[in-house]
Structure 1
Amino acid sequence: MPLITKEEIEELHNVNQDHCVSIFIPTHRAGKKVLQEEDTLFLKNQLKEAKDKLSKKGLNADEINKLSQPIQELIDNSSFWREQSDGLAIFSADGFFRNYTLPVHFKEYSHISNTFYLKPLMPMFVGDGNFYLLTLDRDNVKLYECERHSFTEIEIEDLIPETKQDRVGFDYEEKNLQFRSGATGSGQPMYHGQEAATGQRKNEIKKYFRAINDGLATIFREETMPLLVAAQSPLFDIYKEVNTYTNLMEENLIVDFSSSDIFDIHEMAWERMAPVFDQERKDHIEKFLSEQGKGTTSIGIGKILPAAINGQVEALFCENKEDIFGTYKEENDVVSVTEGEDKDNNISLMNMAAIKTFLKGGKVYLLEKDEMPNPNSRVNALYRY
């Protein structure tokens, strides 16, 4: 299940109050820094900063405590800190509280406005894509539907042979398919047992893999998602011979199943698949560069924000950890840029552009300055029309 959904982003965006508190901190999954409560200290510091900002906006102590109480409860919950990922996002308003543990390295930041600050969440929705992961282990065979930050096991027990032993004595994998140091005269690796990938044993393995392929075909019939197989190379070579799914990845993922759990395997699988799904970002940058001067790109927030609100932005490029503050008048689409976020009525114009783009089906990329299509501006846009 996704760690945060587009529907949740929309829910957060729809909260509109005078004082919406957004806090982001980096966290650690385990280790010394967790034991030393470093993450807790990060949140304490950001909560103090948020309280100071609320005080400057005229809130009294009781009003500030009401907004900060759910955050303080997280600070005091020791078990909560033992179940973290790479970043923590917190959103608090009058009668509303959400927190998300996410695999995103956030910069420490607190923000007070009439809406929540959601731009740092955008990396959860780009560079992503769905793919199948098939684990061919000698102990069991499993199929997962994966994306960047999550995976779901697909039940296939009724579609494939119950055990490997039904079709082949699978100790064979260890006994006869292990590489030996050294090579043949042709430079090919030698196996324990010269019959490793030949003859009756190979046919038995092939028969078993064909049964798996036939069972999975009922799932893959209408699918186009890539299929990545985690298996030792000799077994994958045999599986390729019987595979009928056209979107099988050419290379297998080599995994030591004895020392890796599914979380480790999923992480390795994503590292393999990430370049495949990152192509969309590269294509958008290339399209921006080729379209410059033709009226379908822009580098000014004054033009970009109204276009984002109207659903015209196909791809928005924002300089990471930078911002543009000011005001926006919806009645006449007038954008005014000012310095800093502390002035009354100021909002993050970049945050608004990012969320409007995202909710209307566009892509939002947070990039380093030297990665921006046009680095002379902190925000670039590629229009749909």
Structure 2
Amino acid sequence: MRSISTKPLPLNTFKNLSETRNPFCVSIYLPMFKKGKEQNQEMGPATLKSQIHRLEKTLGEYGMKDPEIKEYLKPLHSLVENRELWRNPGDGLAIFLEKESGLQYYLLPFSFEPVSYVSNHFYMLPLYPMYHQNGEYFILGLSRDYVRLYKADRYGLRDLNLETHAPEQLEEVVGYDYQQKTLQFRSGQAGYAQGSFHGHGEGKDDEKIELIKFFKEIDKGVRKLLGESNAPLIVAGVSRWHSLYKEVNSYPNLYKEALWGDPEFKDVGTLQQEAWELVAPYFKATLDAKIRAYRENVHRSNTSHQIADILRAVKDGRVDTLFIQKGTDEFGTYSEKGCIILDSEKTKKNISIYNRMARDTFLKGGKVYILDKGHMPYSKRPINALFRY
């Protein structure tokens, strides 16, 4: 039995789950009910119990005998009784069960509508927003006595330990008599955050020279750590420090907007949340561009909203971007020759067509977006595709 904390699934884990093939693969998605009242009423375990009852019926219809069903679903019943799990919930819970690897479950940072699915593969459709409605970026926290570099995305961040490649404090670069010989530093949180100085002699000119020297050393460390990356780099610090750092920066994608305020006095959760709100439009621009490209080519051969056309393009690796309306699916069967038969519901003999198309698009390097109806490029149909050619 394996679990992962409230972070998105690593890409390798996602791919391994996507490629699993075994009879009676079970996929379950649940909300976890984080509020106190919901937890007191044990709504999370109750929702899982409800899905288990559905699975018992489904597995029976698929040919599994009652004693075998009981034994097979034991790990799920154990999960219901796992009080530690429900006391420390994520926003959502994804559960995967199959005979060879047993039970795997993942606490994730977004919620799901309750759903269960049984087939010879896992159901991955609810998970695509983790990858294509997200984005990787960096945060450089700058303060006189505090320098940090974080790798972040929509759901969290981690410290890259910049101190192993760059100074952590201004005095490490300019000398520990800097404060006494060039300026008076006014302490206290507000003054500290602004780096408020009363100059003597050259005053502000001295300050700028020393800060530039400091920032050049930081820039060297940043470049060593980030290598060939081109993800946005957000500077978090007071306004004057951002403008000075911009003068010496050599990283190719320094984000145009900065995160104001002294990062030393922010917890990392607040820092990550504020940074994501700042950078989210950058990543949304990619989606907007794909939607615009679809609409500009809606009557041409490189777009389609017909499921049979899209399925053939997926098979050939021609889908650049797949758009699926949230809460929709199609079940059916199809042949290698492209013949598709749609059914009104999931049965033992059919599969989720959208799940298969999303999986193959994703594994072949395409993007998959799960969108509300009003945001679909062509909202009259629940699936749209932009082709590479």
Tell me, yes or no, whether TM beats 0.5.
yes
Match for residue 283 of structure 2 among 270, 277, 281: 277
Following superposition, the deviation at residue 119 of structure 1 comes to: 0.6
Following superposition, the deviation at residue 353 of structure 1 comes to: 0.9
3-state secondary structure, aligned to 2:123: coil
| 2:372 pairs with 1:368 | yes
Instruction: Answer yes or no: is the 8 Å Cα contact 2:96–2:122 preserved in 1.
Output: yes
Instruction: Answer yes or no: is the 8 Å Cα contact 1:176–1:192 preserved in 2.
Output: no
Report the CA distance shift for 1:176/1:365 in structure 2 as closer, same or farther (over 3 A): closer
| Aligned pairs for 1:333-352 within 5 A | 333-341=338-346, 343-352=347-356
Report the CA distance shift for 1:235/1:177 in structure 2 as closer, same or farther (over 3 A): farther
Following superposition, the deviation at residue 195 of structure 1 comes to: 4.9
Q: Which residue of 1 aligns with 2:267?
A: 261
142-151 vs 357-366, greater mean Cα deviation: 142-151
Instruction: Answer yes or no: is the 8 Å Cα contact 1:6–1:359 preserved in 2.
Output: no
3-state secondary structure, aligned to 1:58: coil
Following superposition, the deviation at residue 57 of structure 1 comes to: 2.8
TM-score with structure 1 setting the length: 0.86
Instruction: Answer yes or no: is the 8 Å Cα contact 2:184–2:199 preserved in 1.
Output: no
| 2:319 pairs with 1:313 | yes
**What runs of 5+ residues in structure 1 fail to find an aligned partner?**
181-189
Q: Which residue of 2 aligns with 1:43?
A: 48
Match for residue 147 of structure 1 among 149, 153, 174: 153
Match for residue 26 of structure 1 among 10, 28, 31: 31
Instruction: Answer yes or no: is the 8 Å Cα contact 2:236–2:262 preserved in 1.
Output: no
148-157 vs 198-207, greater mean Cα deviation: 198-207
Aligned residue pairs: how many?
A: 374
Match for residue 249 of structure 1 among 238, 255, 276: 255
- Equivalent-residue separation in structure 2 for 1:64 and 1:3 (angstroms): 30
| Aligned pairs for 1:148-187 within 5 A | 148-166=154-172, 167=174, 169=179, 172=185, 174=187, 178=191
Q: Which residue of 2 aligns with 1:378?
A: 382
| 2:349 pairs with 1:356 | no
3-state secondary structure, aligned to 2:259: coil
Counterpart of 2:66 in structure 1: which amino acid?
Answer: A
Following superposition, the deviation at residue 251 of structure 1 comes to: 2.1
Q: Which residue of 1 aligns with 2:330?
A: 324
Q: Which residue of 2 aligns with 1:298?
A: 304
3-state secondary structure, aligned to 2:27: strand
269-278 vs 42-51, greater mean Cα deviation: 42-51
Match for residue 87 of structure 1 among 89, 92, 98: 92
281-290 vs 27-36, greater mean Cα deviation: 27-36
Pairwise CA RMSD = 3.0
- Equivalent-residue separation in structure 2 for 1:80 and 1:259 (angstroms): 32
Following superposition, the deviation at residue 32 of structure 1 comes to: 4.5
Instruction: Answer yes or no: is the 8 Å Cα contact 2:29–2:95 preserved in 1.
Output: yes
Q: C-alpha offsets along residues 22-62 of structure 1, whole Å, 9 cap, x if unaligned?
A: 11011245655345433222222222222222233332222
Report the CA distance shift for 1:9/1:212 in structure 2 as closer, same or farther (over 3 A): closer
| Aligned pairs for 1:10-159 within 5 A | 10-28=15-33, 31-96=36-101, 97-159=103-165
- Equivalent-residue separation in structure 2 for 1:90 and 1:72 (angstroms): 12
Instruction: Answer yes or no: is the 8 Å Cα contact 1:231–1:253 preserved in 2.
Output: yes
Instruction: Answer yes or no: is the 8 Å Cα contact 1:226–1:248 preserved in 2.
Output: yes
Instruction: Answer yes or no: is the 8 Å Cα contact 1:255–1:265 preserved in 2.
Output: no
3-state secondary structure, aligned to 1:278: helix
**What runs of 5+ residues in structure 2 fail to find an aligned partner?**
none
Following superposition, the deviation at residue 241 of structure 1 comes to: 3.8
Q: Which residue of 2 aligns with 1:7?
A: 12
Instruction: Answer yes or no: is the 8 Å Cα contact 1:176–1:193 preserved in 2.
Output: no
Following superposition, the deviation at residue 175 of structure 1 comes to: 5.2
Instruction: Answer yes or no: is the 8 Å Cα contact 1:317–1:372 preserved in 2.
Output: yes
TM-score with structure 2 setting the length: 0.85
- Equivalent-residue separation in structure 2 for 1:29 and 1:258 (angstroms): 29
- Equivalent-residue separation in structure 1 for 2:38 and 2:241 (angstroms): 41
- Equivalent-residue separation in structure 2 for 1:259 and 1:61 (angstroms): 59
3-state secondary structure, aligned to 1:112: strand
- Equivalent-residue separation in structure 2 for 1:159 and 1:8 (angstroms): 31
191-200 vs 63-72, greater mean Cα deviation: 191-200
- Equivalent-residue separation in structure 2 for 1:126 and 1:154 (angstroms): 24
Counterpart of 1:26 in structure 2: which amino acid?
Answer: P
41-50 vs 163-172, greater mean Cα deviation: 163-172
Q: Percent identity?
A: 33
Report the CA distance shift for 1:253/1:101 in structure 2 as closer, same or farther (over 3 A): same
